[in-house]
Amino acid sequence: SAAEKDGYPSFMEKEINDQPDAVAATLLGRSDLEGKLTLDEMRIDPQVLKTINKIIVLACGTSAYAGQVAKYAIEHWCRIPTEVELSHEFRYRDPIVDENTLIVSISQSGETMDTLMAVRYAREQGAKTISICNTNGSTIPRESDAVLYTHAGPEIAVASTKAFLAQITATYLLGLYLAQLRGNLFQGQIKDILADLAKTPAKIAQVLANAAQIKDLALSMANTRTVLFLGRHVGYPVALEGALKLKELAYIHAEGFAAGELKHGPIALIEEGQPVFVVVPSPRGRDSLHAKVVSNIQEVRARGAMTIVIAEEGDESVREHAEHVFYIPETTTLLAPLLTTVPLQIFACALATAKGYDVDQPRNLAKSVTVE
């Protein structure tokens, strides 16, 4: 009903706008003022978590992209080798899993059959399993050793939005918890990162407040046949998620690429007028990734692409290379997906709406895939 949608025309728009609350709810009550994390639902012996030597993140769909973001954060903070794999690929390849492996499954519904089967398989091999899940009491958390609930609230629209940001948030908490436990970060560092995280809900709200600019662009692109998305580092899974949202909601062919792969194939696709979204890393990052991605924008533009850039507030260097620039508030490199994803969600939702599609129930898709 309209009441359940809080006055929004669709659950999808409501859920996109719920994201500041979803992230805040996932953070709530899990750390104290000194930055000490206590994850109450973490029912795995801390001594065991100290001895794990490998993490495998298992998920499907949008949840798997949250897993890809998690890999960057967990390896950086905890120095534990972390793999991300689609649940259905994992089970059928004779993976190396033992009692020193920590499995982190990510599932909004907690009922995705492929992920459930992968978790069962890993447990049989002796691995410890943590479920990151949005649905209390669902099957995957019940069958896991521990659960870290995302408190995004019920997600009704088939394509995932707020659950995705909440999942990313939960993986940051897990990474920081492991770093705290294993002594990889100083308490003060953890406190600083948690303080940055605590600021993200207000920053997401700022991105949402600028939605009109993205919606206008989407309206002008209702006849688009194909859209490309480029990103690097944590911007790469964001690009993949931007492409997935466009396929799911607007039935437009879309592909995400790691920007560094441009020369190895995707650049051949560029012709006059081809829309290309580019997720640009912060110019304040320690490495040279920003400059590399800016030169990717120039490369596609020189071949006729229409460039649409997501960049950090104050980054004037992208303007001259972009037809459209959407600015997001400053944050740290690792936390940026909580902000850079949002314009891509708004874009896909607005474009699908402009084409007259039901954004809550896209054709052929199910909210939860409970068959193999």
- Residues near ligand G6P (CB under 6 A) are 60-63, 107-109, 112, 115, 158-160, 365, 367-369
Of the two residues 120 and 199, which places its CB atom closer to ligand G6P in the complex? 120
In the complex, least distance from residue 61 CB atom to ligand G6P, rounded to whole angstroms: 3
Give me 345's structure tokens.
């969600």
- Residue 27 token pair: 């953070």
Pick 91 or 321: Cβ nearer ligand G6P: 91
Q: From the CB of 115, what's the least distance to ligand G6P, in Å? A: 5
User: Of 241, 236, 228, 230, whose CA–CA distance to 296 is shortest?
Assistant: 230
- The neighbour count for residue 49, using CB atoms within 10 Å, is 18
Q: Which is nearer to ligand G6P, 17 or 160 (CB)?
A: 160
Distance from the first to the final alpha carbon of the chain? 32
Active-site annotation holder among 54, 199, 355, 367: 367
Alpha-helix runs per DSSP H in the chain:
11-17, 19-27, 46-51, 61-78, 87-90, 113-124, 139-142, 162-182, 187-209, 211-220, 235-250, 289-302, 337-354
Name residue, tokens 């006055």.
7
Closer to ligand G6P by CB, 112 or 224: give it: 112
**114 or 312: CB nearest ligand G6P:** 114
Pick the closer one to ligand G6P by CB: 115 or 180: 115
Pairing mode of beta strands 82-86, 101-107 = unpaired
**300 and 262 in contact (C-beta within 8 Å)?**
yes
For 245-256, give the DSSP string: HHHHHH--EEEE
Q: Which two tokens stand for residue 268?
A: 């051949």
Q: How far is the CB of 354 from ligand G6P (least distance, A)?
A: 21
CB of 104 to ligand G6P, least distance (A): 13
Let me know: does 54 contact 102? Beta carbons within 8 Å.
yes
- Known catalytic membership, residue 367: yes
Q: How far is the CB of 342 from ligand G6P (least distance, A)?
A: 16
Report in angstroms how near the CB of residue 129 gets to ligand G6P at its nearest: 15
Environment class of residue 329 by beta-carbon count within 10 Å: exposed (0-12), middle (13-18) or buried (19+)?
middle
Q: Where are the alpha helices (DSSP H) in 147-285?
A: 162-182, 187-209, 211-220, 235-250
Catalytic residues: 367
